[in-house]
Chain A
Amino acid sequence: MILDFPQLISQWETLPVHVFTAHEKGEILTIGAGTASGAVSGAIQGTASGAVTEHWKWPEQSNVDLSMDWKKAARITAGIDVGSVSSQAVVLLDGKLYAWSSVRTGSSSPDSALKALNQALKNTDLTLEKIPYVVGTGYGRVNVPFAKKTITEIACHARGANYMGGGTIRTILDMGGQDCKAIHCDEKGKVTNFLMNDKCAAGTGRGMEVLADLLRIPIQEIGPLSLKVEEEPPPVSSVCVVFAKTEAIGLLKSGWPVEKVLASYCLAMAERVTALLNRIGVEKDFFITGGIAKNIGVVKRIERILGISALNSALDSQIAGALGAALFANALLEKEERGKS
C-alpha cells in the first residue's frame, strides 16, 4: 500500500515531476510524469498496517562497558564526531573505551552532538559536566559547543584506527556519509599523508542510502545481497548519486535482478575508492573505517581489487573518528595535568 499525504503536499500538487515507483522485486510499476504529490507518496513507502518503512535507516546503536567504574577513573574524556549523516560519541576512562554511541545527525550539529553523548551515557550515571575534556571532530566539529578543541576527522580516524587495529596499520580508508579519505599513518596513528575524494559526494554512504530507498531493501542487507550473484556484472557507469539512481532504474527495467544491480553499484563504489587509495599507495596493514566498512559487498570488492585483506576489529567501524578524538582529549588532558603539577 502506498500512503498519501495530501495535507502535507497540497501546495506542491501542481508541480510537474517525474515519478518512479518499484515494487519489492524491483519491477517497475510506473514510470512517467506526474505531480509532486505522486512523487512524495511514491518515495515514502508504507506497510499494510500504515507504518512507514524507510529502508535507508540504519539502526542507532550504543554500548557501555559496565565492568568499568567511571568514579574510579583518574581521567574521563570524550570525543564527538558530528558527521554529515551520522554522529558518534565515545567516552574513555583513563584512555580505555568505556561507552560509545552512533546516532543519525539531525539538522543541528550541537543537538546531534548532545544526542550522541546522551545516548552513549544512557545506562550510566555519568553526565557531561563530569567530563573535563571533550574533543569535537567531523563535518560539524566547529559546532560542538562543549568541545574544548576541534581536530580534523582525518587525524581522528587515523588515531582511532590505530587503537582499534593496532600500531601495524599504515593505510586507512574512511568511507563516510558524504566523502571518503585515504590516509597513511605511522605506528602512533599520526597522519603522514592523506587524500580526499573530489568535492562531490558520489560513491559515499549517502548514495548507498538513496539506493536502499529506491530498491526498498534495508540498508544492512545490501552488502550480503550484492554477493549473491554468480557472475560479477560490470559496474554502473557513474557513482554520482543522481545518475546511479537513474541507471539502477534502467537496469531493473531491462530485467536485471536486484542483487545484480546491487553488485554493480557496490563494485562501482569499490572501484572509485580503490582509485583514490592507489593514488596514495596501499601499505600494509590496511584498515577501513566509517559506515561503509559495514557493507560486506563493498569491502569484499575493495579487498579483491587491491589483493589485500582489511584488518578486522571487534569494535564498530563507525566510531573510529570519535574514538580518535577521545584519545586526543585524553592526551591533551594528561598534558594539562602535567603542566599544573
Chain B
Amino acid sequence: MNTTRSLQDLIKPFRDWYKNRHSYAETWKENHSQQVIGMMCTYVPEEILYAAGMLPVRILGGHEPQDVTEAHIFGMFCPFSRDALAQGLKGKYSYVDSIVLSHSCLHFRQTFTSWKMHLPLKWSYYLPMPNQVQSPYAKQEFQSEVKKFKEFIEKEIGKTITAEALKQGTSLMDKNRSLLRKIYELRKKENPPITGADAVYMAVTSQFISKEDHNTALEALLEKANEFTPSRETGVRLMTIGSENDDVQFFEMVESLPATIVCDEQCAGSRYFWNPTIDAGDPIQTIANRYVDRPPCPTKDYPERKRFPHILNLAKEYGVQGVILMQEKFCDPHEADNPALKRFLEENGIPTLTLEFDSTNPLGPLKIRVEAFLETLSAEELFS
C-alpha cells in the first residue's frame, strides 16, 4: 500500500501540470522575465528556444465544447486545429508572447494563421520544415532553415546564441528524451507499474513544462521506479496509435476494463521524444538531423512508409496484444495511412480496433467497442 501511495505521489506533479499548465507558464514567466513561445507542431526545434532562455509551450486543445472557431476554421478541418485555436481565442494562452509553426499539415496552419491575425503577439514565425524528409537534401535544407530561425531569434533577443548555449539547449532536450525513454522501458515489464494514462500525463506535460522542472520530476520517479508493482489488474497489453490524442479520460476508461496501454505511437507521446540528437559536428546540423530522422508524422512519411516497421518493432518490444488506432476526425494524413497500417499490423498477427475521436468524446459508445475488442483478445473461459 505504501509503495502505491508513493508512486501516486511521484506521478502527481505531472497530473497537476496537465491540469494547471497555464498557471505554471504564467509563474515561469514572472520568475524568469523571458518570452513564452507557443509552438504549434512537434517539429519546432525547441533546442534553439531553450538556448535563447525562452520557454516553448505546445499549443494544445482543452477537450471542452466551444463555439468560437466557426468563423475561423472550416468544419471539415480536424477538431484539434479548432480546439487549439479556441483556447487562444478564449484567452487561455494570453501569456504566450510569440508563436512558431513548423510546416506540417494544412489544418494546423490555419490555426497559426488565424492566431496571428486575431491575437496580440510580439512576433510569429513560420518555419519551413521539408515534408519530404526522405529526400537526400532534407538535412541540408532543414539545417539552413534552423540557422535562419536561430538568427531571427538572435535579433529578437538582441544577442548572439553561442555554440555553447546551443549545446546546452540540446543536452537539456536530450536528457528529457532519455528520461522519458526510461519511463517507457518500465512499461515493458510483465506487470507495468506505470499505466498508459500516467504515461500520457508525463509525455504530454514534457511538451509545455520547462524541461528542467520536468527532468527533475522524472528523475525522482525513476529513482524509485524499481520498487513499484502495480496494485491493479493489468489485463490485455494494448498500444495506441494516433496523432495529437491526449484525452486522458479515454486512456483511463480503457485501463479500467481492465487493460494496460503499454506503448504508443502518437505525436502527443513517443513520436515527440523517441530519438535523441547525434553529434554531427556543427550544432545546428546536429539539431536539424534529429528532426529529419525522428519517427515521422504521416505528413512526412513518403514515398516509403517508414513509420510502419517502427510501429511493428515497438509492438514486438512491448509485447503488445492489440492496437487501438485512434483516428482524429478529419486528420487526413493519418486517415490515409490507417487502412494500410491496419492491414500491415493484422498481417503481422496484431489485431486492431479503429476508433474515431473528436475534441470531446462520448465515453459510453467508445467503451463498448473497446470492451468487445478485449473480449476478442481474451475471454477464452467463456468457450471452454
Contact = CB atoms under 8 A, between A and B. Distances in A.
Nearest to A329: B382
Given A196-B369, A198-B356, A199-B365, A331 B383 contact: yes
B381 A154 contact: no
Given A199-B362, A199-B365, A155 B372 contact: yes
A188 B383 contact: yes
Interface in B341-356: 356
Contacts of A152: 368, 371-372, 375
A332 B382 contact: yes
Interface in B271-317: none
Nearest to A200: B365
Contacts of B371: 152
Contact of A331 (B369, B375, B376, B381): B381
User: Which of under 10, 10 to 19, 20 to 34, or 35 or more describes the interface residues of A?
Assistant: 20 to 34
Contact of A335 (B372, B375, B384): B384
Contact of A155 (B369, B379, B384): B379
A167 B371 CA distance: 24
B375 A151 contact: yes
B362 A154 contact: no
A66 to B, nearest CB: 30
Given A155-B382, A328-B382, A331-B383, A191 B356 contact: no
B375 A154 contact: yes
A261 to B, nearest CB: 30
Contacts of A198: 356
A306 B230 CA distance: 49
A198 B355 CA distance: 10
Interface string A135-161: 000000000000000011111000100
A192 interface: yes
A335 B381 contact: yes
Given A152-B368, A198-B356, A191 B375 contact: yes
A154 B356 CA distance: 19
A153 B371 CA distance: 10
Interface in B170-198: none
Contacts of A196: 365, 368-369
A188 B381 CA distance: 12
Given A154-B375, A191-B375, A332 B381 contact: yes
A204 B24 CA distance: 48
Contacts of B368: 152-154, 196
Contacts of A331: 381-384
Nearest to A324: B382
A222 B95 CA distance: 62
A194 B372 contact: yes
A193 interface: yes
A122 interface: no
A96 interface: no
Contacts of B356: 198
B376 A151 contact: no
B375 A155 contact: yes
A193 B354 CA distance: 12
B382 to A, nearest CB: 5
Nearest to B362: A199
A320 to B, nearest CB: 15
Interface in A317-338: 328, 331-332, 335
A190 interface: yes
A179 B368 CA distance: 12
A332 B379 CA distance: 11
B131 to A, nearest CB: 30
A80 B382 CA distance: 16
Nearest to B381: A335
Contact of B376 (A193, A199, A328, A335): A193
Contacts of B376: 190-194
Nearest to A198: B356
Contacts of B375: 151-152, 154-155, 191
A177 to B, nearest CB: 14
A196 B379 CA distance: 20
Contacts of B369: 196
B11 to A, nearest CB: 28
A5 to B, nearest CB: 34
Interface string B222-246: 0000000000000000000000000
A27 to B, nearest CB: 39
Contact of B383 (A190, A193, A199): A190
Interface string B310-342: 000000000000000000000000000000000
Contacts of A192: 376
B308 to A, nearest CB: 21
Nearest to A178: B365
A189 B381 CA distance: 13
A152 B377 CA distance: 13
Contacts of B365: 179, 196, 199
Nearest to B370: A152
Given A154-B372, A190-B376, 11 more contacts: A151-B382, A152-B371, A154-B368, A155-B372, A155-B382, A159-B382, A179-B365, A189-B383, A328-B382, A331-B381, A331-B384
Interface of B: 356, 362, 365, 368-369, 371-372, 375-376, 379, 381-384
26 contacts: A151-B375, A151-B379, A151-B382, A152-B375, A154-B372, A154-B375, A155-B372, A155-B379, A155-B382, A159-B382, A190-B376, A190-B379, A190-B383, A191-B376, A192-B376, A193-B376, A194-B372, A196-B369, A198-B356, A199-B365, A328-B382, A331-B382, A331-B384, A332-B382, A335-B381, A335-B384
Interface of A: 151-155, 159, 179, 188-194, 196, 198-199, 328, 331-332, 335
Q: What 8 A-B pairs have minimum CB-CB distances, sorted nearest first?
A: A154-B372, A152-B372, A155-B375, A152-B371, A188-B383, A191-B376, A328-B382, A199-B365
